[in-house]
Amino acid sequence: MSEPHGQPAIVVGIDGSEDSKHALRWAAQQATLTNTPLQAITAWHYPVDFGTAWQIPATYGRSHDFSKADFSEDAKMTLDTAIAEVLGKDPQVPITPQLARGHPAQVLIEASRHAALLVVGASGHGGFVGMLLGSVTQHCVGHSVCPVVVVRGSAQK
């Protein structure tokens, strides 16, 4: 992802997990230090495997018809909430939020084609507790076109 003036952005993947919030904080600090645009991406997709447990969007109420669940709205809420929580209501670093439909690993790998740097949390929502790296993170590390930074835990000093 690049800004209109053509400078490649620092891309950060956001899924609402604590590690992704730490990744956002780190990416914002790096963007400030290097005067690089910041792109925050949240990917969403419809669940395809009914044999696997998956999270129903927050916008879906128990009394509502499941067919009206809005996965993109839930993803937007996740992205907006993470940005506000980590960077405040008026971020000091220019940030471009983006929602993308697709599997998170594929979306981030595609974004890496035009990025200066890809920043991801060590683990996110899903996967197995105790894994060293989440499956999306592992896939990004192995297939990204640009350098990848994996952030674990607090990025604050």
**Rounded to an integer, what distance in angstroms lies between the CA atom of residue 76 and that of residue 73?**
5
Over residues 78-107, the pLDDT tens digits come to 999 999 999 998 888 999 999 999 999 999
Q: Could you say which residues of the chain have pLDDT below 70?
A: 1-5, 47-69, 124-134, 154-157
Report which residue type is found at 49: D
120 burial (CB, 10 Å; 0-12 / 13-18 / 19+) is buried
Decide: helix, strand or coil at residue 152: coil
Predicted pLDDT at 67: 53
**Rounded to an integer, what distance in angstroms lies between the CA atom of residue 151 and that of residue 68?**
35
Predicted pLDDT at 99: 95
Fold type of domain 9-45+79-151? Rossmann fold (3.40.50)
**Rounded to an integer, what distance in angstroms lies between the CA atom of residue 89 and that of residue 93?**
12
- DSSP H or E stretch at residue 145: none
Provide CB contacts within 8 A for 106, sequence distance 6+.
43
Strands (E), 62-145: 95-101, 115-121
Nearest by Cα to 127 from 98, 97, 105: 105
Predicted pLDDT at 45: 81
Judge if pTM exceeds 0.85.
no
Predicted pLDDT at 55: 52
Predicted pLDDT at 35: 95
